[in-house]
Structure 1
């Protein structure tokens, strides 16, 4: 599948033919070509690609929508998940083995201070005893030939693992690498327990390509047929060190005790391409940030009827800073939108609210709105000692200060804020 995707973006792709090492050398190329897909033809004998989904425009083009429609495309799939279709076989099933070493796979070590090689684009699929299937992103640190440690934040997969671990049991999972964008976006959404991300991906697939997501059962667990690599694995009750690791802000995350994963079998397509997701890169921003924009949109829309767009900004690592466009009906709407945005994405640290005539994708236009429509003594909202992102190195004990900027026009004087037109 990745071969076909890269072919669609052939004019953007940088192909590296000379041999490249998986330790640090991949990073240098991905940093050099930040917004262009890079295909490595020889990473210690394997093919690797990164920066595939590093721009909104490329993601939107693949899905057949505009970048402004992406938010609604994702939101529609989250609100209306669709069943996936089970089939009998998948391309990755052509190659199956227990005779493999994680150390010999093209799993990169991205930065000098990382503890080791890291799976960064991997998604984990698990099925609970009631049949609910969860799919989510998790960084996975290679320890030796067959074991790794996995970072679990207290969400759905953590709950499934904890229930097993408390009984001294292992959680059976499938780990998938090398997937198209509708699967990656679905794997990053935050949804209620019981709503399967695979069904959200299926809804995206139906809208973009006119067909549901196809899956094949691997030991009773559904796996997308489009995956390049699939691993049968078990998350054990044992805890081991994980980290340090560079996360989305480009700074090192701390060492924690995290569950040990045992890898048992590997499947892959013929001539597979391993997806190397560079931490702190634009691709990382897009995959982690885009699925949060619909949450902010929905939260703001509950208090302001006309919301035109939400953008998590690249300067804020598409995690900590956002811009929201609204049409005001009352002068307090800007401040209400600020508070609602913080509720919609609790990791958010700064939000700027602007009028509908401001292009939220143009940082200069947003700054112009701040320069001409914002007064700090009247239009600034500061929230102290709020729960923020664990990835923000300036936060202390998980607490941060949040600030919102109401850069909207005063309704009673709005004609004074209009830009001159010809």
Structure 2
């Protein structure tokens, strides 16, 4: 039975922007069926080895259709990859135009902040159809993708923890390397709420209980990558998933830890982050396109494993999938933050060339000279990992790198239109920084305001090509 929370009693009063549940995509199985029915799924039927081969085959589809590997060496279960590497397909999943995808996520966050639709907690759920006994997690079909990676990696699993003081839940994604039958090592980035939770627990000599949820629906994934600036530490960001689903997210009581799991997950590892223990982790492929080097990092001990009867393992492949999985939610957060401060902002994109994390292009409708420089500074403040910001006018397509380069070529003066911010906090995984400290650069590629006639773009009249008889 569900707990009788106020959210379930008053759920009809909440405005929700999403409808994934109504459209049959409240779990990963529904998403795969949706993609298959639309011929947007590649099925690999030949057996592949999860060690290096699976990732190599997946890369042949990089940026196109998601891939379901139906036969994985040494495993009873298939592996799904590529859900997040094509923005057009992901937009189809969420039922919005591609250009509206990050705005859709921003609306869900805004709804959640204004009137959160809380998850409900059940006593049982599909993720607990099978409760494993003394199970060896090395049996999981988690792939080893990069040729120099240190082992099998969990790259898409959502980690749920509770604030050791308030009990508020946090959801996040971190890389975890399998090192033994019940053991993983992991990376916790600086500034993450999970790391804050852990450090407070560790200071008391206590472990931090967690659930590691693999194969969650896209709404839960998006909720777990909301930047800290948009999801304060005192709020349960899993409510964002409810707003994308169109109904309260279902969680379930774990069997061995006091933290809930995602009810529709494919696999759940019930575990604890051990205090004052560090063991080797890495090398690991990272968002930068380089390997994070081997070092002593945090240790997870698995206490229990539950799963569906016929689960599908989900993995994220380094590259565009990481860029979109993180970048889309970051775009939504940046847009919401800076458009509230500077209403001339019309759109934001984090570029693939900037790893979906380090380079932003911002589109503005200038109404006064100098406002574009305010936008550059506000953008850096809204997302600290950024290294570069380019601001362009509304007549420039920020999703077309060639059009952005055109603006830089014809509207940007290096002697006047650069802003440098030395010794600023960035992202510690970027090797060009010194433990996260580096220089940021902003480019003003906007035309002067008021716009002189010689800055008016060439254009042609709009026509409907369907009105013409054309032979090709």
Q: Using structure 2 for the length normalisation, give the TM-score.
A: 0.85
Per-residue CA distance 1:350-403 (angstroms, 9 max, x = gap): 111111121111111111221221111111222222222212222234222221
State the match for 1:253 in structure 2: 292
Deviates more, 1:302-311 or 1:12-21: 302-311
Kindly indicate whether residue 157 of structure 2 is the aligned counterpart of residue 122 of structure 1.
Answer: yes
Q: Work out whether residues 313 and 322 of structure 1, in 8 Å CA contact, stay in contact via their aligned partners in 2.
A: yes
Alignment of 1:13-412 (within 5 A): 13-35=41-63, 36-44=65-73, 45=75, 46-81=77-112, 82-129=117-164, 130-154=166-190, 155-190=192-227, 191-206=231-246, 211-219=247-255, 220-237=258-275, 238-279=277-318, 281-412=319-450
Q: Work out whether residues 303 and 336 of structure 1, in 8 Å CA contact, stay in contact via their aligned partners in 2.
A: no
Q: Work out whether residues 185 and 298 of structure 2, in 8 Å CA contact, stay in contact via their aligned partners in 1.
A: yes
Give the Cα separation in 1 of the matches to 2:404 and 2:389: 11
2:450 alignment partner, SS class = helix
Give the Cα separation in 1 of the matches to 2:452 and 2:296: 55
Q: Work out whether residues 210 and 272 of structure 2, in 8 Å CA contact, stay in contact via their aligned partners in 1.
A: yes
2:299 alignment partner, SS class = strand
Give the Cα separation in 2 of the matches to 1:271 and 1:302: 46
RMSD: 1.6
Give the Cα separation in 2 of the matches to 1:294 and 1:77: 10
Structure 2 unaligned spans of 5+: 1-26, 461-472
Q: Work out whether residues 360 and 366 of structure 1, in 8 Å CA contact, stay in contact via their aligned partners in 2.
A: yes
Q: What's the offset of the Cα at 1:415? A: 3.2
2:69 alignment partner, SS class = strand
Q: Work out whether residues 161 and 169 of structure 2, in 8 Å CA contact, stay in contact via their aligned partners in 1.
A: yes
Q: Work out whether residues 179 and 228 of structure 1, in 8 Å CA contact, stay in contact via their aligned partners in 2.
A: yes
2:70 alignment partner, SS class = strand
Give the Cα separation in 2 of the matches to 1:66 and 1:293: 16
Q: What's the offset of the Cα at 1:314? A: 0.8
Q: Work out whether residues 127 and 262 of structure 2, in 8 Å CA contact, stay in contact via their aligned partners in 1.
A: no
Structure 1 residues 201 and 245: CA distance shift in structure 2, 3 A? same
Structure 1 unaligned spans of 5+: none
Q: Which runs of 4+ in 1 moved over 4 A?
A: none
Q: What's the offset of the Cα at 1:23? A: 0.7
Give the Cα separation in 1 of the matches to 2:421 and 2:110: 31
Q: What's the offset of the Cα at 1:16? A: 0.9
State the match for 2:465 in structure 1: none
Give the Cα separation in 2 of the matches to 1:254 and 1:345: 25
Q: Work out whether residues 299 and 343 of structure 1, in 8 Å CA contact, stay in contact via their aligned partners in 2.
A: no
Give the Cα separation in 1 of the matches to 2:251 and 2:304: 18
1:413 alignment partner, SS class = coil
Give the Cα separation in 1 of the matches to 2:28 and 2:339: 37
Deviates more, 1:388-397 or 1:227-236: 388-397
Give the Cα separation in 2 of the matches to 1:153 and 1:265: 25
Q: Using structure 1 for the length normalisation, give the TM-score.
A: 0.94
Q: What's the offset of the Cα at 1:273? A: 0.9
Give the Cα separation in 2 of the matches to 1:193 and 1:180: 23
Deviates more, 1:48-57 or 1:62-71: 62-71
Report how many aligned residue pairs link the two structures. 417
Q: What's the offset of the Cα at 1:320? A: 0.8
Give the Cα separation in 1 of the matches to 2:401 and 2:168: 42
Q: What's the offset of the Cα at 1:303? A: 4.2
Q: What's the offset of the Cα at 1:139? A: 0.7
